[in-house]
Structure 1
Amino acid sequence: MEPIKVLIVDDSAFMRTMIKDLLSSDKRIQVIGTARNGADAINKLKRYEPDVITMDVEMPVMNGLDCLEKIMNEQPLPIIMLSSTTVEGAENTIAAIQKGAFDFVPKPSSTISFDLRQVKDELIKKIIEAQRANIKPLRLRNQTFKGKQNTATDQVFSYTQKRNNKLVLIGSSTGGPRALEFVIKNLPKNFAAPILIVQHMPKGFTKSLAERLNFASAIEVKEAEHGEILRNGVAYIAPGGKHLKVRQVGHSIVSSLTTDDPVKGHRPSVDTLFFSAAKLKNHQKIAIVLTGMGSDGAYGLEVLKHNTDNTYTIAESENTAVIYGMPKSAIQTGYVDKIADLDEIACHITRFVNER
């Protein structure tokens, strides 16, 4: 197989050299060039024809966000952002993902020594996945899917019991922030159920994600807090570095945040959220697995189906998923009720919640 051609964009000569040395250690990757800012990167795209770009955010002349936007409009490529873990860095990173960046890798927090070796494996893994990504959804910048309101005619919501409390569970990883935006923005303001979301993301970034989704959506979106009573019409995002669980307290459902060991390398874990929800016997649940690498959520989905007879499950289709790993693993369990394009999912969720 031909090596993956990577263009490195960073205004620091030290960082360019460091990243090049780290990536060149893997035979699957070929660093074909470097650029010192966004304008330099644009000029070098036709010359180098990279498969994947790594890009800093803060740069002179043309910053990473402007460069990203120009590339995604004119010559879409998978772009991995190297981002600061500061509050401003997190906000810029989420903005980059919403503009079409494939994913990001946080820079080490030290301002003295950028020891990128601690993120070497993560960066290489994401470059390899990026080269296989479906970047078509990444081009849908500033578009909001309207939902195919008349396509869900297959009687998928055939519950016969009286209307119970409803709970929406969503798991996502790579490509997830943009997929979540399309789903959450299309839910109505009077949405009659709580929504719990696990998005694979490090500490410091989930709060910015919640704030941006909250600004863009009719419903409230917030980072989950430990011990809060879940309310209808609110989406709760698991904080980076903590598992999100739910439990029944009296007639209410309460959130629980823990620092238990990672599950399949993830904390927060989609499986962990699904496991906890499976213990709620008096709630109808809809569980959705969106784009992402790996198989997180697949086993949890099985547990939901085995433990409750009032759970409906959806996996995002290969047609719209940026990375089909998580949805594909969920489908392979045999417990997915519906495979849906991203533009259909909000419609399915709303119908499920409104079904009596």
Structure 2
Amino acid sequence: MAPYRVLVVDDSAFMRKIICDLIEQDKQFTVAATAKTGAEALLALQQHKPDVITMDLEMPEMNGLEALQQIMKTRPTPVIMLSGISEDGTRETIKALQLGAFDFIRKPSTTVSAQEVGHSLLEKMTAAVLTASKPSSPVRPPAKSVEPSERARGVKPARPVPASRTPKQGDKIAPRGQQSRPSVPEPVPAKAPIKPPARPAVSFVGEFSDIVAVGTSTGGPRALHQLIADLPANFPAPVLVVQHMPPKFTRSLAQRLDSFSKLHVVEAEQGQQVKVGTVYVAPGGYHMQLSERGGQFYIQLSEDPPRNGHRPSVDVLFESLLAYPKLRRHTVIMTGMGSDGAKAMKQLVDQGIPTAVAEAEETCVVFGMPRSAIESGAARTVLPLQEIAGFLVSVVDRRA
């Protein structure tokens, strides 16, 4: 069977050659065409109809973000962005993920070898073409108020897990005649809503009985956008987030989420006190754990070895919550490849936590992490993305 067709877009001839060579190391893929500008990419898209696209961010005439938006409008196709690690590059990468890019990789550099880039690129392209052909719910701007839906007012048993294929690391792609070409989620509107000028004060900052911990990976930035934007300003629990991302990108992620959120969103720092009204995003390259000192809770970061291939790891964060049964702990696993978080979520469920949510398949970009949580018996509740925030509002203790 014919291999999957890739369109490589980069204004550097040298970089195009590197990316093409990396792609063609795997016989499941072939480079159908190359382009050096966004405008050329749009022409190649219509002519060659690729199955997946690699896209540089910075190009003349039409940059990667502009091309991405046009691709999502004219012929939605999985796009993997190639990003540098400059501050502008990380910000633009996060924006691209929220505009519909499937995932991103860092370009080869003095700190990231071509071999590392090639492994990551092939893994992400495999996930892209294996992902089920279904759109996810678009990210919405912050609502004026959030009320739990009728469906989310009580804990429900998890839905049966569909038998559809979930990509895992090392998977081989089925022949093209045996599977349909995947589409990608609907694009996020290009215009960002204006950030609220002020957040209402929370009456009990620094004192809380509940805490929320969230883990996600591929597709996570868009999912986090919706989840965090939908939480109200008076949400009475801190939120700890692990998003699988390399160093520097998590700071840009936190800054962008903060611009959409009624809560304060920050990249977590060592020794930072955990307070109500704040969302803490684990920094890339560091595990994040909850610790206690003198009756107050703090962020603890470490460079311990990766878990499940990741640092930060969802399992590490969730495991740190095991030491604090006095807190009502609420856990959420959303879209992503692999199984990170499922093991520790199951331990917490066995300890009696009130909330263990897995995102439903129909809104996941990749169903791997939620599926693992469901199949292991860790997830007590399965909800589509747009209902998770309302469900958390309904179950977190509001000290009424």
Normalised-by-shorter TM-score class: over 0.9
* Matching residue of 1:205: 249
Deviates more, 1:26-35 or 1:132-141: 132-141
Secondary structure in 1 aligned to 2:27? coil
Closer, same or farther: CA 139–230 of 1 in aligned 2, 3 Å: closer
CA distance in 1, matches of 2:213, 2:390: 15
* Matching residue of 2:378: 335
Does the CA contact (< 8 Å) of 1:283 and 1:310 recur in 2?
A: no
Percent identity between matched residues is: 44
Does the CA contact (< 8 Å) of 2:141 and 2:229 recur in 1?
A: no
What TM-score does the superposition give when structure 2 sets the normalisation length? 0.83
* Matching residue of 2:393: 350
* Matching residue of 1:120: 118
Secondary structure in 2 aligned to 1:126? helix
1:26 Cα deviation (Å)? 0.6
Does the CA contact (< 8 Å) of 1:100 and 1:138 recur in 2?
A: no
Residue-by-residue CA offset, 1:104-162 (whole Å, 9 max, x unaligned): 00113449xx95233110100000001123575567266668776222244569xxxxx
Closer, same or farther: CA 164–143 of 1 in aligned 2, 3 Å: closer
Paired residue type of 1:43 = L
Q: Is 1:84 equivalent to 2:84 in the alignment?
A: yes
Gaps of 5+ in 1: 158-162
* Matching residue of 2:300: 256
Q: Is 1:50 equivalent to 2:79 in the alignment?
A: no
* Matching residue of 1:224: 268
CA distance in 2, matches of 1:65, 1:214: 21
CA distance in 2, matches of 1:164, 1:37: 51
Secondary structure in 2 aligned to 1:231? coil
Q: Is 1:181 equivalent to 2:225 in the alignment?
A: yes
Closer, same or farther: CA 110–147 of 1 in aligned 2, 3 Å: farther
What TM-score does the superposition give when structure 1 sets the normalisation length? 0.93
* Matching residue of 1:268: 312
Paired residue type of 2:284 = G
Does the CA contact (< 8 Å) of 2:208 and 2:276 recur in 1?
A: no
1:32 Cα deviation (Å)? 0.8
Does the CA contact (< 8 Å) of 1:80 and 1:102 recur in 2?
A: yes
* Matching residue of 2:131: 133
Closer, same or farther: CA 316–120 of 1 in aligned 2, 3 Å: same
1:334 Cα deviation (Å)? 1.1
Closer, same or farther: CA 143–53 of 1 in aligned 2, 3 Å: farther
Does the CA contact (< 8 Å) of 1:224 and 1:236 recur in 2?
A: yes
Does the CA contact (< 8 Å) of 1:82 and 1:107 recur in 2?
A: yes
Closer, same or farther: CA 275–121 of 1 in aligned 2, 3 Å: same
Closer, same or farther: CA 47–317 of 1 in aligned 2, 3 Å: same
CA distance in 2, matches of 1:148, 1:240: 32
Q: Is 1:27 equivalent to 2:27 in the alignment?
A: yes
* Matching residue of 1:160: none
CA distance in 2, matches of 1:148, 1:319: 20
Does the CA contact (< 8 Å) of 2:52 and 2:125 recur in 1?
A: yes
Residue-by-residue CA offset, 1:156-214 (whole Å, 9 max, x unaligned): 69xxxxx9710000000000000000000000011111100000000010000000000
1:335 Cα deviation (Å)? 2.3
1:230 Cα deviation (Å)? 0.3
Secondary structure in 2 aligned to 1:151? helix
CA distance in 2, matches of 1:333, 1:313: 12
1:281 Cα deviation (Å)? 1.5
Q: Is 1:172 equivalent to 2:170 in the alignment?
A: no
Paired residue type of 2:38 = G
1:352 Cα deviation (Å)? 1.5
Query: How many pairs does the alignment contain?
Result: 348
1:222 Cα deviation (Å)? 0.2
Paired residue type of 1:82 = L
Secondary structure in 2 aligned to 1:82? strand
Q: Is 1:151 equivalent to 2:148 in the alignment?
A: no
